[in-house]
Amino acid sequence: MNVLIIDDEELIRNVVKEYCLNENYNVLEASNGIEGLEILEKEKVDIIVLDIMMPKMDGYTFFQNMKEKYNIPTIVLSARTEEYDKLFGFAIGIDDYLTKPFSPKELIARIKAILKRTSKIEASDIFLYKGIKVDFKGRVLYIDNEEVELTPKEFDILVYFINNPNTAISREQILNKVWGYDYYGDERTIDTHIKILRNSLGKYRDLITTVRSIGYKFVYEEK
């Protein structure tokens, strides 16, 4: 597995690199977003650890440019601790957000969880319902034969709903199952992702219903 670390602080890169190497991950490094994009042109990357405040090109600008060509899970590692920064990151499609100072062991646990989830091959290749087609292996959603781009997290939530139809699912369950570890952040993060996913489903958005005081339910007639 190739981990790309993008951070202008060499000390941070070295710490993350050391822990990644201990897990037998290959490590690529960049000190800003421009260098990060250049690496992606040359190397296969399985996951990105991304700082936000960097010279030349900041992390969010890098991420938005990267998403135009690649679908790579991304963990933000930032000194920005405001809720707005986290919610903005999730809204544009990042997978996780860890604030500095951070625990390298926790970061590795989150990297492992995301890599395990994104590399998992689903038992069924295709899900079909009305005008919805989900290609699990290709990780692609089609609405009425038109491809709809989803963030990695949106896709994982959709797959979790599909695998648990007509079942009330709490926000805590979604966090634990989709994020892959005990998440200690604000559960409103889930609401943000669900809102984006509903928009992506278009006219089928009502398949995801809100269950008051609990969470959500994916409602459809199983064959």
Query: Beta strand pairing status for 146-148 and 140-143?
Result: antiparallel
For the domain 126-218, what is the CATH code?
1.10.10.10
* Sheet containing 74-78, strands listed edge to edge, beginning at the edge strand earlier in sequence: 26-30, 2-6, 47-50, 74-78, 96-99
Q: Above 60 in pLDDT, residue 184? A: no
Between 38 and 118, name the one with better pLDDT: 38
pLDDT in tens, 190-216: 888 899 999 999 999 999 999 988 899
Longest dimension (CA), the chain: 55
**Over residues 116-141, mean pLDDT:** 77
Domain boundaries, the chain: 2-119, 126-218
Question: Considering the chain, what percentage of its residues have pLDDT values greater than 90?
Answer: 37
Torsion sign across C-alpha atoms 47, 51, 54, 59: positive
Q: Is 205 helix (H, G, I), strand (E, B) or coil?
A: helix
Rounded to whole angstroms, the Cα distance separating 75 from 94 reads: 6
List of residues 6+ apart from 6 with CB closer than 8 A: 29, 30, 31, 32, 33, 35, 36, 48, 49, 50, 51, 54, 59, 62
- By the 8 A CB rule, do 70 and 152 touch? no
Q: Which residues pair with 128 in a beta bridge?
A: 133
pLDDT in tens, 24-70: 898 999 999 999 999 998 888 889 999 988 888 888 899 989 988 88
Note if the bond before 55 is cis, omega within 30 degrees: no
For the domain 2-119, what is the CATH code?
3.40.50.2300
